[in-house]
Structure 1
Amino acid sequence: MVFLVLGLLFFLPWWTLFVSGSDWPLPVFLIGTVVFAAGLVAFPFLMARGHGQRRDDRAARAADSTLGVVWVLFTWSLLGGVVHLVLIGFGVGGTGTARSVAVAVAVVSAVLLVLGHHEAMRVPRVQRLDVHLPRLGGGLDGTRVVVLADTHYGPIDRADWSARVAEAVNALDADVVVHAGDIADGTPVQRREQSAPLGTIRSRLAKVYVTGNHEYFGEAQGWLDRMTELGWDALHNRHVVVERGGDALVLAGVDDVTAESSGLAGHRANLLGALEGADPERPVLLVAHQPKYVHQAATAGIDLQISGHTHGGQIWPFNFLVRIDQPVVHGLSRHGARTQLYTSRGTGFWGPPFRVFAPSEITLLTLRQGTGPATPGTTANPSTEHTADPAEK
């Protein structure tokens, strides 16, 4: 099945660009065919070498970039093919039309890849949002929560990017800083230089971190220890309490939902353990990597869950596939009578160094007392969630 999907990903762009009635000169056809064939053959070996036991960063960079390029080409080849069929239906066919479609697909894909790479590599824009929590005490009104998620330090050395992200966070003068998981692809030793700037991030009240699913591909406990070393509170199924103006807020965190299947002793998403000893009258901000954990959060009456994981889809139209697995792709949504969920698009990127129609973000949530305006996606049923981002509808 994997090789069938892989073959289709490479076949459709090759067919659209170099066959499909375009009748290119033989040298053009041969060069295109050789390039696609070489990519198809090399890709599995590059993936195995780059993301397997050897963890060869050069191979991983090549494999990840190839995956991003072929995904974009596949998407726009599919759309180009539909346009081509429509044109044929209207009697506008022939070699000229086929070549025009092929050139359009190539140009659109190239432009999106250039812009997408820029989007992936730049310091994210700051998204600002007020979140109203009825149980929030007046002393905590205006609390500034900065959210990072899915930094994915990886095969591309982004130590300088990491330092500039830390500077951007510090400029926001946060009371609380949250890292919602998927800190890196690799071990703490491999990504030590890239993660070091996290130690320079400042906050008035707390800096908290939870594991994402990618930590369980490597050394999850090692990343918990590394973040503690950098001055963060690793919320390994536990909570801390922050106070201001005589009012308190519980900051709780759970391991990723994949933790239990990792086989690591003591690692699983345990909300009861995270809230053990917490005053039930105090509002709770829960950090859980995957949005779908909001089912448990809503049942427990959590006030606000912060998540990442989705990347907003990262490369359109992957957001529609993400929506099959997750209740929300991006934004603020309500679940049940009390619980709100904020899902970040993520600060970095996974794998392919591209973001297409899914910009990265650093999020500034300002907590406000009271009900405020209606939260998008409101539902009375805690088991039913809706995306809050109109672009996803």
Structure 2
Amino acid sequence: MADTDTAEGIAEAAPAPSPERGRRPGVFVAILILITLLLFGVPWWTLLGPSNDWPPAVVAVGTVLILAAAIALPVAMLTGHGRHSDRAARLGDTLLGVVWVLFVWSVLGNVLGLALALGGVDDPDRSRIVAVAVVVVGAALLIWGNYEAMRVPRVRSLDVVLPRLGAGLDGTRVVLIADTHYGPIDRAPWSRKVAAVINDLDADVIAHAGDIADGTPDQREEQAAPLGTLDARLAKVYVTGNHEYFNEAQGWLDRMTDLGWNSLHNRHVVVERGGDRLVVAGVDDVTAKGSGLPGHRTDLPGALEGADPELPVLLLAHQPKFVKHAAEAGIDLVVSGHTHGGQMWPFNFLVRLDQPVVRGLSAHGERTQLYTSGGTGFWGPPFRVFAPSEITVLTLRARR
């Protein structure tokens, strides 16, 4: 989800650490311990704290379970995502989602507790009401959130007026997907269903705005294979996201080319209909240069090299924050992903610290519009809470 994405984005914008800072792993460990204590400590206090006056056996069992989860989470996350163990990643991701929901609703539960106190409800009844409410609401949100994450995304449709678009291209249908994140949970059947939905959308252009997978092309071959079955009249285009730079970015560009896509590695294609033309360009993710992979960087001038400056431009750029550079270059429409719409409320507010938009259509500068997808899949925790996934149909309209 956008949890790590936000942290990664902040790190990308920060200056490189000095050698002295790089030799202080204790600071990282201390921060990790502090976050873990906070995430698990608040739910423990809310559900099992002294004010609840539960029987000692209940407190003991609950404490052991929470302590075990607190130890298992960092171990599973580091083993799963650091050493590429899918089994450990599934455990860590699930624990992360569960504790996030319990933490958020424990905080909100304590607000409820304050209201009950003002209403004259005393402990232990007050604290027990809060504890039960947190468990019930948390369980309901996790069940619903898992359903939302694993379901085939809903189709979201909207018209986008591009003043420079020629009349021959009026009505061009761009189907946008992003953040499929094929990963530790085998979602090959889901991928096939998504492909079937897209093929029913009568696309002129299909665009994948990056973060295709967590894993190498060989690891996620079966999950990604349905992308090769997609049909578009004019073009199928793809750009890298930041997660490709953890897992063989060039390999994913090559794999998508093998599947029949135009991999827009700082390049463009021109599509034509009704005598009018549209430049469809793409840039590497903003993390590309920092990956150290030869030939990978975000290069908008390179992507537009040779393109007629009078033609309208549709640009694929994984992270919405690239829109600042796109607006300076006079790009007509940028399509992005990366944010997942926040994925698990209220994480959307943290995402907003790193990105200018969390989801939807927005205007930037005199000409540029940006559409930010809420994401087609999910990262990490198999939950989406108040942040639905989407397959987007953007119908391009000429000015009338």
What corresponds to 1:151 in structure 2? 180
Maintained 8 Å contact 1:127/1:362: yes
Aligned to 1:70: 99
One-letter code of the match for 2:181?
Answer: H
Deviation of 1:43 (Å)? 1.4
1:195-247, Cα deviation, whole Å (9 max, x unpaired): 00000000000000000000011110010001001000000000000000000
Percent sequence identity over matched residues? 70
Aligned to 1:254: 283
1:194 paired to 2:188: no
- 4+ residue stretches of structure 1 with deviation over 3 A? none
- Kindly provide the amino acid, as one letter, of the partner of residue 124 in structure 1: P
Instruction: Provide TM-score, normalisation by structure 1.
Output: 0.93
In structure 1, the partner of 2:16 is none
Q: Kindly indicate whether the alpha-carbon contact (under 8 Å) linking 1:20 and 1:98 is maintained by their aligned counterparts in 2.
A: no
User: Which digits, 9 at most, give the CA deviation of each residue in 1:72-112, with x for residues without a partner?
Assistant: 00000001012212322443221111101000000000000
Q: CA separation in 2, counterparts of 1:282 and 1:93?
A: 69
Match of 2:74 in 1: 44
Give me the whole-angstrom Cα distance separating, in 2, the residues matched to 1:142 and 1:5.
49
Residue equivalent to 1:28: 58
Distance 1:9 1:20 in 2: 19
- 1:320-361 per-residue CA deviation (whole Å, 9 max, x = no partner) reads 000000000010000011000000000000000000000000
Instruction: Say yes or no: does 1:369 pair with 2:398.
Output: yes
Is contact 1:147–1:177 with CA below 8 Å preserved after alignment?
yes
Unpaired segments ≥5 residues, structure 2? 1-30
Report the TM-score, using the length of structure 2 for normalisation. Answer: 0.92
In 1, distance between residues paired with 2:298 and 2:198?
Answer: 28
CA distance in 2, matches of 1:82, 1:88: 10
Tell me how far apart the structure 2 counterparts of residues 18 and 94 of structure 1 sit (CA, whole Å). 13
Aligned equivalent of 1:348, options 347, 352, 377:
377
Alpha-carbon separation, structure 1, partners of 2:33 and 2:397: 51
Contact 1:208 1:235 in 2 (8 A): yes
For residues 25-58 of structure 1, the C-alpha deviation after alignment (integer angstroms, 9 at most, x for no partner) is 12211111011000011112111211113x1111
Give the deviation of 1:7 after TM superposition.
1.3
Q: 1:334, 1:93 → 2: CA distance?
A: 52
Residues 129 and 20 of structure 1: is their aligned pair in 2 closer, same or farther, counting only changes over 3 Å?
farther
Answer yes or no: is 1:327 the counterpart of 2:356: yes
Say if 2:327 is the partner of 1:276.
no
What whole-Å deviation, never above 9, does each CA across 1:104-128 have from its counterpart, x for those lacking one?
0000000000000000000000000
Q: Distance in 2 between matches of 1:69 and 1:275?
A: 44
Q: Among 205, 210, 213, which residue is 2:242 paired with?
A: 213
Aligned to 2:138: 109
Tell me which of 33, 41, 46 is aligned to 1:16.
46
- Is 1:131 aligned with 2:182? no
Distance 1:178 1:153 in 2: 17
Determine the C-alpha separation between the residues in 2 that align with 1:234 and 1:350: 22
Asked which structure has the greater RCO (Cα within 8 Å, sep 6+), the reply is 2
SS in 2 for 1:340: strand
Q: Following the alignment from structure 2 to structure 1, what is the Cα–Cα distance between the partners of residues 144 and 181?
A: 20
